[in-house]
């Protein structure tokens, strides 16, 4: 599904990722954990196609294609979805307009007919129920005046409607109370599918109590410092990130020495 | 001011005035004749404004001064039918003016309540001269365009409502210019008695590619506790020049709403002013859209002269290409106007590097117990919003169009008459997403 090799990324001339490798197979759920500033969000946005993130080396292949050659909208149409850590407010654009425009753009790309109003509404309403959201949210401006929890639920609602092949959830658990976390986790779990891969970017273990990942990776110093099974998340919860970071720094130091810097 | 004596533009209109004054509306009414003579003298004295005049600093009308426009006496109706059909609004009383002249055959005024007059000002100047005398302004034009209109006005709407008379259907004033090089001088007078109410839609259109001048004046007298809503829809040809003033005078406890939508013209300038008596309520909303090398200027003036007035002002601009916009919003709170609550906002969206806006809020506060706020912004489309939409699969051009439209849409909030709202929605820049 997704193959990342030796990815180097700079933002505003500042190197953030250097030498990241990651492989995610179909149907797999991977958790990317790590301390603040380790590059987790950068990885999420590089995959989604945000401008201003400069790839200086390495490659990303998605379904066998060069992902980095595609624009943000092309990636979305090819089945990539990023649930934002900070969903953007768009006054004047109703939530339902965004959903309909996005879904139809993706369907057109796939050569499918646009959904008519009836089919579209029944699809959206089913997903609203799943996310325990009120129908009135559809007619409000995108994320405008939404509470933190409503914004995160709205992200998962969009994901449920757009049915991506690769979903990247950027700190979807942050800022959620325990009830909202359960609803979000339920929505995500309902979307697990042998054809759909997920990357859960998170600082804490707690989302992983509800969504059990196949693999857990720790990002430190701009690369994957450690990988393991679900038990790694629990170990990190107990021991913190300090020891992984120390290991990563040591390794980065010796690597830098190796190229004579 | 321009040296008027040897200016061909001035000479041309002075000659036109000399030639026609005996046939202009109200020529048989001494006070009207006197007002016109004084106005043409004032026009000669003022000439056209120049960028040395503070009020015209950013709007250069020298291009108008170099043009030879004709005052139209013999109206041609060729092609007018289509324009009227295209721009008519259902469910309104409609007055149509072509090249500044009232066309009764194209107009359509439905049944009116007792005490309501809607019709041609030129006709009224003969039959209701005494009534007009109470309200007719003039004699103090601020600039040459105003003076020229007062001297040469050919016709316009006269709306006169007795106290308590409310007209439910909006009054649609459709000003059609039908020939290139025409100069037309519409002059409208709206008088409302105490507790009366009316919605007026002042609509200016012209054929594509025609170059002409519209120099319009609208005076609105709002009676005590009366409600007047004035919507201006400027859809002049993209090669035309449009200069207009709207001046309202509000008696106590009245409400006045001015909505101004500027889509057309090569150069457009609207000066919109109101004076609030005690307890008045005023809403000014505007949207201006410019592209190419077009120029659009709004000067607004809200005069809180007496206590406890409330004013809300929101003007928004969307500018592309090398378009240029001017917004000058003056709000004065005079010493007697305690308890005033005034808010003004001007927001501009620049879609290209060459588009430009000069925005100048002017708040002058001479009373101490007041609540006043103003703000102005000039910016581009929000990159985070664009990225968010694109990350959902919406293409860049569509995402931009969606955001531009969302920005402009806010100015339609107060437009409650559905046919007008639908017309405006179709004219908004940006892409319309089909409703569910």
Measured on CA atoms in the order B162, B168, B169, B174, is the torsion positive or negative? positive
Q: How far is B343 from chain A (nearest CA, A)?
A: 21
Residues of chain B contacting A120 with CB distance shorter than 8 Å? 436
Residues of chain A contacting B432 with CB distance shorter than 8 Å? none
| Residue B6: other Cβ atoms inside 10 A | 8
**pLDDT for residue B270 is more than 80:** yes
Mean pLDDT of B246-252: 97
**pLDDT for residue B385 is more than 70:** yes
| pTM for the full predicted model | 0.91
Q: How far is B423 from chain A (nearest CA, A)?
A: 18
For A66, residues 6+ apart whose C-beta sits below 8 A from its C-beta are: A59, A60
Residues of chain A contacting B403 with CB distance shorter than 8 Å? 90, 92-93
**Do B178 and B211 contact (CB within 8 A), yes or no?**
no
- A88–B436 CB contact, under 8 Å: no
State the ipTM, two decimals. 0.94
- A105–B407 CB contact, under 8 Å: no
Show the tokens assigned to A110.
């796939």
For B169, residues 6+ apart whose C-beta sits below 8 A from its C-beta are: B91, B92, B93, B110
Q: What does the alpha-carbon distance between residue B63 and residue B47 come to, in Å, rounded to a whole number?
A: 14
Nearest CA in chain A to B407: A92
Q: What does the alpha-carbon distance between residue B66 and residue B213 come to, in Å, rounded to a whole number?
A: 12
Task: Count chain A–chain B contacts defined by CB atoms under 8 A.
Answer: 84
Ranking A191-195, A233-237, B17-21, B250-254 by mean pLDDT, the lowest is A233-237
CA A20 to chain centre: 16
**pLDDT for residue B14 is more than 60:** yes
Which of B228, B243, B235, B284 is CA-nearest to residue B260? B284
By Cβ distance, the residue of B398, B399, B406 closest to A91 is B406
pLDDT in tens, B181-197: 999 999 999 999 999 99
Residue A120 sits at the chain B interface (C-beta within 8 Å): yes
Rounded to 5 degrees, φ, ψ at B282 are: -135, 135
Q: Which pLDDT does position B434 carry in this prediction?
A: 46
Strands B227-235 and B197-205: parallel
Residues of chain A contacting B402 with CB distance shorter than 8 Å? 93, 97, 101
Q: Which pLDDT does position A255 carry in this prediction?
A: 53
In the numeric block, the tokens 């089913």 are attached to A126
**pLDDT for residue B27 is more than 50:** yes
- A76–B393 CB contact, under 8 Å: yes
Q: Which pLDDT does position A261 carry in this prediction?
A: 33
Cα distances from A57 to residues A6, A10, A205, in angstroms, run 7, 10, 31
- A105–B405 CB contact, under 8 Å: no
Q: Which pLDDT does position B435 carry in this prediction?
A: 40
Restricting to A residues 163-182, those with a Cβ less than 8 Å away from any Cβ of B are none
Show the tokens assigned to A174.
């942050």
- A49–B395 CB contact, under 8 Å: no
pLDDT in tens, B310-359: 999 999 999 999 999 999 999 999 999 999 999 999 999 999 999 999 99
Residue A72 sits at the chain B interface (C-beta within 8 Å): yes
**Do B39 and B14 contact (CB within 8 A), yes or no?**
no
Restricting to A residues 175-214, those with a Cβ less than 8 Å away from any Cβ of B are none
By Cβ distance, the residue of B384, B385, B394 closest to A105 is B394
**pLDDT for residue B53 is more than 60:** yes
**Do B275 and B248 contact (CB within 8 A), yes or no?**
yes
Q: Which pLDDT does position A248 carry in this prediction?
A: 73
Q: Which pLDDT does position B135 carry in this prediction?
A: 79
For B288, residues 6+ apart whose C-beta sits below 8 A from its C-beta are: B260, B261, B262, B268, B296, B298, B315, B316, B317, B318, B325, B327
pLDDT in tens, B67-108: 999 998 788 898 899 999 999 999 999 999 999 999 999 999
For B106, residues 6+ apart whose C-beta sits below 8 A from its C-beta are: B80, B81, B84, B96, B98
Q: How confident is the model at residue B432 (pLDDT cuts 50, 70, 90)?
A: low
pLDDT in tens, B130-167: 888 887 876 678 899 999 999 999 999 999 999 999 99
Cα distances from B388 to residues A85, A259, B99, B264, B383, in angstroms, run 12, 39, 49, 33, 9
Q: Can you list the residues of chain A whose pLDDT is less than 70?
A: 252-261
**pLDDT for residue B219 is more than 80:** yes
By Cβ distance, the residue of B391, B399, B409 closest to A48 is B391
């Amino acid at each position: 599904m997704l193959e990342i090799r030796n990815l180097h990324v700079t933002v505003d001339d500042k190197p953030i990722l250097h030498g990241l490798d990651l492989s995610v197979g179909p149907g797999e759920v991977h958790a990317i954990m790590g301390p603040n500033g380790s590059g987790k969000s950068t990885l999420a946005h590089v995959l989604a196609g945000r401008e201003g993130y400069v790839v200086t080396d390495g490659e990303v292949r998605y379904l066998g294609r060069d992902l980095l050659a595609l624009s943000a909208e092309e990636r979305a149409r090819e089945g990539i979805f990023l649930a934002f850590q900070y969903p953007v407010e768009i006054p004047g654009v109703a939530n339902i307009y965004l959903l309909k425009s996005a879904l139809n753009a993706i369907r057109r790309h796939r050569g499918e007919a646009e959904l008519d109003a009836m089919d579209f509404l029944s699809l959206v309403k089913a997903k609203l129920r799943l996310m325990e959201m009120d129908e009135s949210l559809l007619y409000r401006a995108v994320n405008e005046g939404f509470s933190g929890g409503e914004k995160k639920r709205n992200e998962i609602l969009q994901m449920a409607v757009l049915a991506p092949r690769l979903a990247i959830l950027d700190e979807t658990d942050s800022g959620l109370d325990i009830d909202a976390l359960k609803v979000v986790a339920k929505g995500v779990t309902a979307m697990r599918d042998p054809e759909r891969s997920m990357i859960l970017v998170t600082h804490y273990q707690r989302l992983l109590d509800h969504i059990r990942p196949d693999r857990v990776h720790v990002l430190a110093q701009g690369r994957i410092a450690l990988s393991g099974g679900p038990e790694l998340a629990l170990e990190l919860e107990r021991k913190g990130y300090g020891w992984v970071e120390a290991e990563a720094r040591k390794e980065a130091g010796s690597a830098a020495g190796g190229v004579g810097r | 001011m321009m040296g008027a004596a040897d200016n061909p533009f001035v000479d041309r209109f002075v000659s036109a005035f000399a030639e026609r004054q005996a046939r202009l509306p109200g020529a048989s009414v001494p006070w009207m004749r006197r007002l016109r003579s004084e106005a043409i003298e004032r026009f000669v004295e003022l000439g056209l404004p120049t960028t040395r005049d503070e009020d015209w600093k950013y709007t250069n009308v020298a291009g108008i001064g170099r043009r030879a426009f004709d005052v139209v006496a013999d109206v041609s109706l060729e092609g007018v039918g289509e324009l009227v059909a295209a721009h008519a609004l259902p469910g309104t009383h409609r007055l149509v003016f072509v090249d500044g002249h009232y066309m009764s055959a194209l107009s359509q005024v439905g049944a009116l309540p007792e005490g309501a007059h809607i019709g041609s000002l030129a006709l009224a100047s003969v039959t209701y001269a005494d009534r007009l005398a109470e309200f007719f302004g003039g004699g103090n034009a601020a600039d040459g365009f105003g003076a020229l209109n007062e001297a040469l006005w050919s016709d316009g709407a006269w709306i006169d409502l007795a106290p308590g008379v409310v007209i439910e259907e909006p009054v649609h004033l459709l000003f059609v210019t039908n020939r290139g090089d025409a100069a037309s001088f519409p002059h409208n007078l709206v008088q409302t008695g105490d507790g009366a109410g009316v919605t007026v839609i002042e609509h200016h259109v012209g054929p594509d590619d025609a170059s002409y001048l519209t120099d319009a004046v609208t005076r609105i007298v709002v009676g005590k506790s009366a409600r007047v809503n004035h919507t201006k829809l400027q859809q002049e040809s993209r090669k035309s020049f449009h200069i207009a003033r709207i001046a309202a005078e509000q008696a106590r406890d009245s409400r006045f709403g001015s909505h101004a939508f500027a889509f057309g013209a090569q150069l457009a300038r609207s000066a919109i002013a109101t004076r609030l008596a005690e307890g008045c309520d005023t809403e000014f909303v505007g949207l201006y859209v410019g592209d190419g090398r077009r120029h659009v200027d709004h000067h607004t003036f809200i005069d809180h002269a007496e206590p406890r007035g409330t004013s809300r002002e929101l003007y928004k601009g969307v500018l592309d290409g090398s378009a240029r916009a001017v917004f000058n919003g003056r709000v004065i709170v005079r010493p007697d106007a305690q308890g005033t609550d005034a808010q003004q906002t001007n927001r501009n969206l620049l879609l290209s590097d060459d588009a430009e806006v000069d925005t100048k809020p002017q708040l002058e506060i001479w009373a101490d117990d007041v609540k006043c706020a103003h703000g102005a912004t000039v910016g581009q489309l929000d990159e985070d919003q664009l990225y968010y939409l694109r990350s959902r699969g919406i293409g860049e051009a569509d995402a931009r169009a969606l955001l531009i439209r969302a920005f402009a849409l806010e100015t339609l909030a107060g437009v409650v008459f559905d046919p007008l709202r639908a017309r405006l929605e179709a004219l908004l820049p940006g892409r319309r997403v089909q409703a569910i």
